[in-house]
Amino acid sequence: MYRYDETDRQIIMDRVAQFRGQTDRFLSGDLPEAEFLPLRLQNGLYVQRFAPMLRICIPYGMLSSPQLRRLARISRDYDKGYAHFTTRQNVQFNWPKLEDVPDILAELAEVEMHGVQTSGNCIRNTTTDQFAGVTDEEIVDPRPYCEIIRQWSTFHPEFAFLPRKFKIAVNACPDSDRAAIQVHDIGLQMIRNDAGELGFQVRVGGGLGRTPLIGSVIREFLPELDLLTYLDAILRVYNRYGRRDNKYKARIKILVKALGPEAFAEKVEAEWAHIKDSPARLTEAEIDRIKVHFSSPAYLTVEQIDTAAFEKAREENTFFGNWVNRNVTEHRVPGYAAVTLTLKKLGVPPGDVTDKQLDALASLCEQYSFGELRVTHEQNVVLADVRKDQLFDLWTAIKPLGFATPNLGTLTDMICCPGGDYCSLANAKSIPVAEALQARFDDLDYLYDLGPIDLNISGCMNACGHHHVGNIGVLGVDKKGEEWYQVSLGGASGQDADIGKILGPSFAREQMPEVIDRILQTYVDQRQGDETFLDTYRRIGINPFKERVYASAS
């Protein structure tokens, strides 16, 4: 992963000093709350329902073991002993004290971490595939490009006060998309052109929230060296012309929609023509410099790895076999595998980890995966480089920690935002719904039989739980001061991204397990062959589901 040099280190220390000064001025009354607000937001500090909340950036989801240990320590020293992995590959502390935040940021800076631009109307953390660099599906490792974007976007002088937040995602797999790039403000698909040159297909204006939209392609091929100047051009057009009069109409998707993608693209191209050959243009040397940070670790050869023992254990032990089938992913290097550790245990809010678990994760990644770990947008974590002959040991080690629930990709591997238990914007609680569903659908054989289903829950229209792109989406709504839930079907976030359709009138919380059960029964009754839930839905449409769910009193 990327390691700071002296300049990077100095810049992040400067940031800590700046925020310390701003916090002092706020506490002494020199800086009014309204003017402190965007400054603290751009350092990750929110004020939530019960306490401040600090969102720490995990660039494109990568963490090292010293960073994990530092997060554990901070959660002990400044918080209540746990942290929360978010749906944007970041981590949050829910109870820090405002006056402690500069110290927390200083502790983070020591391990090359920060809360920079994790909130506020600026360019946020760039996200990508959690299997980047280890999957054989990709045409190139996207992480160096994410790092290049990170540096470009960090303290960009022109784009710190955009109309609204701005999120960029990168995908390098031609046939799959774990980064959900079609629902980002900018989605970059890495491709090769006919001449074999590397570049990006550029999509703009996707997003969730109140107006869910799939992004439009505004450029079929952008050569890699033109990445940053083109981003500058897009952001400049957005900064100048994006709406600032209404926060709900301020995202770039509204501008793209209002102008039309072609007219928007023309504006970007016109702007870009002026700057494409400026000194801001990326260089081969810089790409090479960054790539060195992402070179392969010292893998053993497949002959050095006893894969036979692994295959044997997999056959003999059904529990282990189930876990391997579900939670272990193929690796581009023979003899290795990528392992997803699930943070979705019954009774624990999705994405929550204790300080002890963070320390344990640090030791696990040191022992099994070259000291690095990745966070996924489904709120799980991945050890990306595990030797197959160590999988059994790893499985044995993570079971007691609660990381081995073999439900990856199934119904109970839900995405769920913090909701009304933690978030002041919520219409409804989301975690109790997730828990009720986990309790109702705890039969693994049934879950395996249902196959892959994305169930996503958001506590309000802000859609942090990505409910629009869940095959089954659940949205908390407020009905005369009461918490209700609206269900949508047919959303998808991958290559075939789609926005779900609303099933009908919303439900009370107690009804939710029964509602989901009826949806699943409809699928089971109607599916043909090995159709997935999404396949069946796309074939038969929403009506059969609607009829079943709303039949008699539910």
Q: Taking a C-beta distance cutoff of 8 angstroms, is the pair 445, 438 a contact? A: no
The Cα 459–Cα 212 span in angstroms is: 16
The Cα 551–Cα 554 span in angstroms is: 7
Residues 109-168 that bind another protein (CB under 8 A): 121, 151-152, 154-163
The Cα 74–Cα 186 span in angstroms is: 33
Q: Which residue is nearest to ligand SF4 (CB)?
A: 459
Write the binding mask 465 to 504 for ligand SF4: x where contact by CB under 6 A, - elsewhere. Answer: x---------------------------------------
**DSSP notation for 223-255:** EGGGHHHHHHHHHHHHHHHS--S-GGG-SHHHH
**418 sits near ligand SF4 (criterion: CB under 6 A):** yes
**3 sits near another protein (criterion: CB under 8 A):** no
Q: Which does 279 bind (CB under 5 to 8 A by kind): ligand SF4, another protein, none?
A: another protein
The Cα 134–Cα 372 span in angstroms is: 13
Write the binding mask 444 to 463 for ligand SF4: x where contact by CB under 6 A, - elsewhere. Answer: --------------xxx-xx
Sheet harboring 381-387: ordered strands across?
62-64, 372-375, 381-387, 336-341, 328-330
The Cα 190–Cα 181 span in angstroms is: 11
H or E element at residue 396: helix 391-398
User: 3-class DSSP state for residue 359?
Assistant: helix
**501 sits near another protein (criterion: CB under 8 A):** no
* 228: amino acid identity, one letter: L
**DSSP notation for 82-128:** EEEE-TTS-EEES---GGGHHHHHHHHHHTT---TTSSSSSB---EE
Write the binding mask 235 to 254 for another protein: x where contact by CB under 8 A, - elsewhere. Answer: -x--xx---x----------
**120 sits near ligand SF4 (criterion: CB under 6 A):** no
# residues near another protein by CB under 8 A? 43
The Cα 284–Cα 524 span in angstroms is: 53
Cβ closer to another protein: 157 or 400?
157
Q: Taking a C-beta distance cutoff of 8 angstroms, is the pair 158, 235 a contact? A: yes
Neighbours of 247 (CB within 10 A): 11
What are 201's strand-pairing partners?
A: 189
**4 sits near another protein (criterion: CB under 8 A):** no
Q: How far is the CB of 162 from another protein (least distance, A)?
A: 6
The Cα 361–Cα 85 span in angstroms is: 13
Tokens at residue 157, please? 């002088």
Query: Which of 338, 423, 489, 520 is close enough to bind ligand SF4 by CB under 6 A?
Result: 423
Q: How far is the CB of 272 from ligand SF4 (least distance, A)?
A: 34
* 301: amino acid identity, one letter: T
**294 sits near another protein (criterion: CB under 8 A):** no
3-state secondary structure 503-543: CCCCEEHHHHHHHHHHHHHHHHHHCCCCCCHHHHHHHHCCH
**200 sits near another protein (criterion: CB under 8 A):** no
Query: Which of 20, 38, 217, 550 is close enough to bind another protein by CB under 8 A?
Result: 38
**212 sits near ligand SF4 (criterion: CB under 6 A):** no
Cβ closer to ligand SF4: 387 or 466?
466
Q: Which does 425 bind (CB under 5 to 8 A by kind): ligand SF4, another protein, none?
A: ligand SF4
Q: Rounded to 5, what percent of the chain is helix, strand, coil?
A: 40, 20, 40
Q: How far is the CB of 125 from ligand SF4 (least distance, A)?
A: 16
Cβ closer to another protein: 7 or 543?
7
**11 sits near another protein (criterion: CB under 8 A):** yes
**383 sits near ligand SF4 (criterion: CB under 6 A):** no
Q: How far is the CB of 511 from ligand SF4 (least distance, A)?
A: 20
Nearest to 253 by CA among 219, 216, 202: 216
Q: How far is the CB of 519 from ligand SF4 (least distance, A)?
A: 22
**39 sits near ligand SF4 (criterion: CB under 6 A):** no
Which parts of this chain interact with ligand SF4 (CB under 6 A)?
417-419, 423, 425-426, 458-460, 462-465
Which parts of this chain interact with another protein (CB under 8 A)?
5-7, 10-11, 14-15, 18, 21-22, 25, 30-31, 35, 38-39, 121, 151-152, 154-163, 228, 236, 239-240, 244, 274, 278-280, 282-283, 285-286, 289
